[in-house]
């Protein structure tokens, strides 16, 4: 391969790798930013619940409680342990999120500075499309969870 072509290919691979890294980090940071703004409070859910850990009424915990035949005291202790874990996780992300946000922002700025004006417009369009797709996926999951909850027989407490 000619010297110029090699550098061009390497630069393309580097841009793709940085775009992938930035996309993953941006998606992760976006979730954390939503949590930080307090949208979980509006939804009446904990940050961990918004991110997929649905608490003691979530799928995993419900499965554990149903299959392990826990006594009320065991269930209370497990609920307490899960809640403590959620608080510690939330505190951890509150410390980490600003640094992650800075990395994502600087990576995104570097990528945008590398692109031409038309490429930047397409890049922004692709990012917006990805955000919409993730939101559709999340809404579909929320709908499926509501349907599962509605189909689940009520358990005495």
Q: What is the pLDDT of residue 56?
A: 42
Q: What is the pLDDT of residue 55?
A: 44
Q: What is the pLDDT of residue 41?
A: 54
CB-CB contact of 32 with 100 (8 Å): yes
- Residue 96 tokens read as 């980490």
Q: What is the pLDDT of residue 111?
A: 92
Q: What is the pLDDT of residue 32?
A: 58
**Tens of pLDDT, residues 81-124:** 988 988 999 999 899 999 998 999 999 999 999 999 999 999 99
Q: Which residue has the tokens 């799928």?
A: 59
Q: What is the pLDDT of residue 66?
A: 76
Helices (H) and strands (E) in the chain, counts: 6, 0
Backbone angles phi, psi at 156, to 5 degrees: -70, 145
Query: Could you count the other beta carbons within 10 Å of the beta carbon of residue 127?
Result: 16
CB-CB contact of 9 with 1 (8 Å): yes
Q: What is the pLDDT of residue 107?
A: 93
Higher pLDDT residue, 112 or 65? 112
**Tens of pLDDT, residues 7-57:** 777 888 888 877 878 777 766 666 555 555 555 455 555 555 554 544 444
Indicate the pTM of the whole model.
Answer: 0.44
> Which residues, 6+ apart, have CB-to-CB distance to 40 below 8 Å?
34, 46, 47, 49, 50
Q: What is the pLDDT of residue 54?
A: 46
Higher pLDDT residue, 20 or 74? 74
């Amino acid at each position: 391969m000619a010297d110029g072509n090699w550098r061009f290919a390497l630069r393309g691979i580097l841009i793709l790798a940085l775009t992938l890294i930035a996309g993953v980090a941006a998606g992760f940071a976006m979730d954390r930013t939503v949590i930080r703004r307090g949208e979980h409070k509006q939804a009446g859910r904990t940050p961990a619940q918004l991110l997929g850990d649905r608490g003691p009424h979530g799928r995993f915990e419900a499965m554990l409680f149903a299959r392990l035949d826990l006594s009320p005291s065991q269930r209370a202790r497990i609920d307490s342990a899960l809640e403590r874990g959620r608080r510690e996780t939330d505190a951890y992300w509150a410390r980490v999120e600003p640094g992650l946000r800075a990395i994502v922002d600087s990576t995104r700025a570097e990528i945008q500075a590398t692109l031409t004006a038309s490429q930047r417009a397409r890049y922004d369009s692709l990012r917006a499309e990805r955000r919409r797709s993730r939101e559709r996926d999340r809404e579909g999951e929320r709908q499926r969870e509501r349907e599962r909850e509605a189909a689940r027989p009520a358990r005495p407490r």
